């Protein structure tokens, strides 16, 4: 669907996004506040940075006014403060003039980025423009800018139904009676305020019946759709998680590893002919939680991981790698022609050698990733993951763990299925560096 395609590209973590925010007099203060909240929620969904997602904001009434461009802020917290401090001034509604002004901003974006990425303009408005929007919107699309129009409607003010024609004109230059009927059907939704998202690219769009359920939960929708079974339905892989639960691991560190595992598998397409997952924890000895053939449903895996308690003895990572290697044999669940991965989560402070067991497992064709917690020993992690420095990671923050889980899940999806999403050139370079 258009929505899924849009989110897949954003999940590639390398794109430029501008918001064009209606500041006219037809916007009441409560609506303006809703716009601000939506933008803030949106920007916290992604990894903001000069080499990742860049965001800018222009507000407009009689004329457009740049609040911040794509290069001005490199973190979400700073952007949030700027968005919160925007003052609603009112005025006319010259959406066409504002759209025309965006051409220069996107031209500057290409120059400052230095390479081509997907570009998006998200127009947030509630009323009919006092000037023409069709030609300026078409000109932006010829620059390969994908436009989304979001209508913020206060249902207590029934006279605002004229916004519908304006939104559809931005989308494709036409008005459809059936869209009006669908809107009327859903306008008495339990939410006083609803946000309707439309795709403005070529001839495709959403109808109100398709998007009314989005309401204000788009942040959750982004994450779930990005890794839905539809997105990665053909992905296959055998993945084992080996979790250090020795006495050197803090309670917080152990919980991070559990949350990471749950987050990763929740983003995978679990099934008998799809992704198989196994989990083992270890200390002096190992404890198998479930192997590759135990669960073919997500719920069973998540419940088992929730119930995991640490062993809390000494750290013997080498022994654990040797022990888990048997589960990559055909007799224990390995599937022919399917890629195998082992994800080792540890602080790296092993009392035995990890290099030889890890080498033996890699010789069987298993790709090993090492993730460090609690001030991990990087040299030990490198011994586990092998010669590629891009296969071990050290993350000390909860947010860092979440981001890493997303990145690895995306890369697994991309490698396990042909063309899971359409990554930018930058993402393709990253894939080569990771050496799957």
The candidate with the shortest Cα–Cα distance to 20, out of 123, 109, 90, is 123
> Which fold does the domain 237-434 belong to in CATH?
Rossmann fold (3.40.50)
The CA-based angle 119-125-130, given to 5 degrees, is 105
The candidate with the shortest Cα–Cα distance to 60, out of 19, 31, 104, is 19
Q: Looking at residue 161, what is its pLDDT?
A: 37
- pLDDT range class, residue 74, cuts 50, 70, 90: confident
- Termini Cα distance of the chain: 29
Least-confidence region, from 18-32, 108-122, 240-254, 346-360: 108-122
How far is the C-alpha of 163 from the C-alpha of 186, rounded, in Å? 15
- DSSP, collapsed to helix, strand or coil, labels residue 185 as helix
Across the range 16-41, mean pLDDT stands at 87
Q: Looking at residue 236, what is its pLDDT?
A: 82
How far is the C-alpha of 9 from the C-alpha of 294, rounded, in Å? 34
The candidate with the shortest Cα–Cα distance to 106, out of 137, 60, 61, is 137
CA 43 to chain centre: 11
DSSP assignment of 323-359 = HHHGGGSGGGTPPTT--EEEEEEE-S--SS--HHHHH
**Cα dihedral angle (203, 208, 211, 216), rounded to 10 degrees?**
130
Q: Which residue has the higher pLDDT, 30 or 345?
A: 345
Q: Which residue has the higher pLDDT, 426 or 395?
A: 395
Phi-psi region of 312 (alpha: psi -120 to 50; beta: other; left: phi over 0): left
* 107: exposed, middle or buried (Cβ count in 10 Å: 0-12, 13-18, 19+): exposed
Tokens in use for 148?
A: 């989304």
Least-confidence region, from 34-38, 306-310, 322-326: 34-38
Q: Looking at residue 391, what is its pLDDT?
A: 67
CA atoms within 13 A on the CB side of 52: 14
Q: Looking at residue 308, what is its pLDDT?
A: 97
Q: Looking at residue 429, what is its pLDDT?
A: 22
pLDDT at 412 over 60: yes
Q: Looking at residue 396, what is its pLDDT?
A: 59
> Which fold does the domain 2-226 belong to in CATH?
Rossmann fold (3.40.50)
- pLDDT range class, residue 376, cuts 50, 70, 90: confident
The candidate with the shortest Cα–Cα distance to 157, out of 122, 192, 115, is 192
How far is the C-alpha of 309 from the C-alpha of 306, rounded, in Å? 9
Helix axes 163-172, 134-142, angle to 10 degrees: 30
- pLDDT range class, residue 373, cuts 50, 70, 90: confident
How far is the C-alpha of 253 from the C-alpha of 240, rounded, in Å? 19
Q: Looking at residue 329, what is its pLDDT?
A: 94
Give percent above pLDDT 90 in the chain.
Answer: 36
- Please list, in sequence order, all residues whose beta carbon lies within 8 angstroms of the beta carbon of residue 83, skipping any fewer than 6 positions away: 36, 39, 40, 43, 57, 67
Contact between 39 and 57 (Cβ < 8 Å): yes
The model's pTM: 0.51
Q: What is the mean pLDDT of the chain?
A: 74
Least-confidence region, from 7-16, 308-317, 327-336, 351-360: 7-16
pLDDT at 432 over 70: no
Q: Looking at residue 104, what is its pLDDT?
A: 95
Least-confidence region, from 225-234, 378-387, 416-425: 416-425
pLDDT at 81 over 90: yes
Q: Which residue has the higher pLDDT, 421 or 359?
A: 359
- pLDDT range class, residue 406, cuts 50, 70, 90: low
Give percent above pLDDT 70 in the chain.
Answer: 65
φ and ψ of 415, to 5 deg: -80, -35
pLDDT at 86 over 80: yes
How far is the C-alpha of 76 from the C-alpha of 42, rounded, in Å? 10
Compute the Cα dihedral for 356, 359, 361, 367 and give only its sign. Answer: positive
- pLDDT range class, residue 155, cuts 50, 70, 90: very low
User: What does the DSSP 8-state code read for residue 282?
Assistant: E
Residue showing tokens 């990253």:
430
- pLDDT range class, residue 101, cuts 50, 70, 90: very high
Across the range 165-185, mean pLDDT stands at 43
pLDDT digit string, tens, across residues 269-291: 888 988 999 999 999 999 999 99
Parts of the chain belonging to CATH 3.40.50.410: 2-226, 237-434
Least-confidence region, from 57-61, 141-145, 179-183, 299-303: 179-183
Helices and strands in the chain: count of H runs, count of E runs: 16, 12
Tokens in use for 416?
A: 């396990």
Helix axes 163-172, 95-113, angle to 10 degrees: 40
pLDDT at 342 over 60: yes
């Amino acid at each position: 669907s258009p929505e899924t395609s849009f989110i897949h590209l954003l999940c590639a973590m390398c794109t430029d996004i501008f918001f064009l925010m209606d500041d006219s007099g037809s916007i009441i203060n409560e609506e303006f506040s809703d716009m601000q909240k939506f933008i803030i929620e949106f920007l916290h969904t992604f990894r903001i940075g000069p080499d990742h997602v860049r965001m800018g904001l222009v507000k407009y009434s009689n004329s457009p006014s740049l609040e911040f461009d794509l290069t001005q802020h490199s973190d979400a917290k700073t952007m949030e403060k700027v968005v919160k401090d925007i003052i609603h001034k009112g005025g006319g509604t010259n959406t066409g003039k504002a759209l025309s002004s965006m051409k220069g901003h996107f031209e500057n974006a290409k120059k400052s980025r230095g390479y081509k990425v997907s570009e998006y303009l998200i127009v947030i408005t509630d009323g009919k423009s006092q000037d023409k929007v069709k030609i300026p919107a078409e000109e932006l699309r010829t620059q390969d800018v994908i436009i989304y129009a979001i209508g913020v409607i206060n249902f207590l003010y029934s006279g605002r139904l004229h916004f519908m024609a304006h939104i559809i004109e931005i989308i494709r230059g036409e008005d459809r009676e059936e869209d009006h009927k669908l809107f009327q059907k859903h306008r008495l939704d339990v939410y006083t305020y609803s946000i309707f998202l439309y795709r403005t690219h070529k001839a495709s769009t959403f109808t109100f019946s398709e998007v009314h359920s989005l309401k204000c939960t788009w942040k959750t929708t982004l994450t779930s759709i990005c890794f839905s079974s539809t997105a990665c339905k053909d992905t296959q892989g055998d993945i084992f998680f080996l979790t250090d639960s020795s006495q050197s691991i803090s309670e917080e560190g152990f919980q991070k590893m559990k949350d990471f595992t749950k987050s990763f598998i929740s983003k995978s397409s679990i099934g008998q002919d799809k992704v198989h997952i196994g989990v083992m924890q270890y200390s002096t000895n190992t404890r198998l939680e479930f192997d590759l053939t135990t669960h073919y449903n997500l719920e069973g895996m998540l419940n088992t991981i929730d119930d995991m308690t640490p062993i809390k003895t000494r750290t013997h990572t080498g022994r654990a790698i040797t022990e888990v290697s048997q589960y990559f044999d055909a007799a224990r669940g390995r599937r022919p022609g399917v890629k195998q991965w082992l994800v080792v989560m540890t602080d790296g402070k092993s009392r035995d050698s990890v290099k030889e067991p890890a080498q033996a497992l890699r010789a069987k064709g298993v790709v090993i990733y090492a993730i460090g917690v609690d001030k991990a020993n990087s040299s030990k992690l490198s011994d586990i993951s092998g010669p590629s420095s891009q296969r071990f990671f050290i993350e000390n923050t909860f947010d860092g763990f979440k981001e890493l889980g997303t990145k690895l899940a995306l890369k697994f999806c991309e490698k396990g299925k042909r063309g899971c999403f359409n990554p930018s050139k930058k993402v393709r370079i990253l894939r080569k560096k990771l050496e799957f």
